[in-house]
Amino acid sequence: MAMIPDRSDLAVLKPFRMQGAPYDAMYHVRWLAGIPLRWVVLLMLLWPTAVLAQSGMAMADTFAALWRWMPFLVTQGFLFNILISLFSMLIGTVLGVVLGLAQISRVRPIRGLSWFITQLFRNSPWLVLLFIVLLALPYEINILGQTFRIPAWMKAVFGLSLPIMANISEIVRGAVISVPSGQWEAAESLGFNRRQTLYEIILPQCFKRMIPPWMNWYAILTMATPLCSLLGVEEIITLSRQAMSAEDNQPELLIPFYGFALVLFFAYCYPIARITIWLERRVSVKF
């Protein structure tokens, strides 16, 4: 019987291996936080000069127009964007925690319904949700004979809180699942019921794990608040258009005014990204 040689000069197809790192849900925040601080300072110093150099107006006139409207855009516009993001994040977080805990319920109908709601709002365009909320909610409601108007910014808050709710739900579900199963088994061996195990043992461990992705979604939400301008909400983009209309709608003002809005959002979201990465490193499990 002939022996089969251990080695051969024939070509052999080796197993395929994926190159590169796996998908990172916090990729954008890592990229933003990875920008060196000196480049951020340089950008904020050179940006006004760059945008004004592209203008056909005199640089002094363009800067004077932007300077006149700058306090109005910041106090009445950008601060309102931040207010919308805070309210939307608060509502979305409360609803998301409830929905996330429902996803790990032992009752199958509750688990299935919560999963469906999570996937529905998590995979829906934010702008479409805003328009649906705008058209679905009434403009005023009557309570005990009193008429209360529902302003557009409240509808925008509710519309933005829906996708945040769905993503927070996934954060909560993922954090609970990430806790080693030995924690559940140890609690059961000590006589803890499921509710005691969840609220006294599992969720306290999940809290630190949920902070970095929670801050990541807050930064994303803040950058999405200009969508509210399409609903007529008077935030920074809407007020920028009004300011340019007051300046005779000169096209040379487009880049300076919108560039100023860009600088404001970057200056607000960049520190959040840096803090998010710092917290992620601080709360990460050390082996």
* Residue 248, pLDDT above cutoff 70: yes
Rounded mean pLDDT, 122-141: 87
Q: Is the pLDDT of residue 170 over 50?
A: yes
Mean pLDDT computed over every residue of the chain = 80
Alpha-carbon distance of 163 to 25, in angstroms, equals 16
Alpha-carbon 80 to chain mean position? 17
Treating both helix axes as pointing N-terminal to C-terminal, what angle do 236-246 and 254-283 enclose, rounded to 10 degrees?
160
- Of all residues in the chain, the percent with pLDDT exceeding 90 is 27
Answer whether residue 221 shows pLDDT above 80. yes
What pLDDT sits at residue 166? 94
- CA distances to 22, 24, 89, 269, 272 from 29, in Å: 16, 10, 17, 9, 9
Residue 274: is its pLDDT beyond 70? yes
Residues 6+ apart with CB under 8 A from 7: none
CATH superfamily of the 38-139+147-281 domain: MetI-like (1.10.3720.10)
Domain residue ranges of the chain, discontinuous segments joined by +: 38-139+147-281
Q: Between the ranges 15-24, 116-125, 227-236, where is the mean pLDDT highest?
A: 116-125
Residue 257 has pLDDT above 70, yes or no: yes
Q: What is the pLDDT of residue 159?
A: 92
Residue 282 has pLDDT above 80, yes or no: no
| Mean pLDDT to the nearest integer, 150-174 | 91
Render pLDDT for 8-62 as a digit per residue (tens, 0 to 9).
555 544 544 444 444 455 555 565 666 666 666 666 555 555 555 554 555 667 7
Question: Is residue 167 scored above 90 in pLDDT?
Answer: yes
Burial 125-134 (b: 16+ CB within 10 A, else e): ebeebbeebb
Cα–Cα distance list, 17 to 14, 20, 21, 32, 154 (Å)? 9, 10, 12, 29, 50
Residue 5 has pLDDT above 60, yes or no: no
**Tens-digit pLDDT profile for residues 53-102:** 554 555 667 778 888 888 889 988 899 999 999 999 999 999 999 999 99
The structure's pTM equals 0.76
**Residue from 4, 72, 35, 112 nearest 274 by CA:** 35
The pLDDT, as a whole number, for residue 157 is: 93
CA distances from residue 271 to 18, 39, 46, 173, 212 in whole angstroms, order as listed: 34, 14, 19, 27, 13
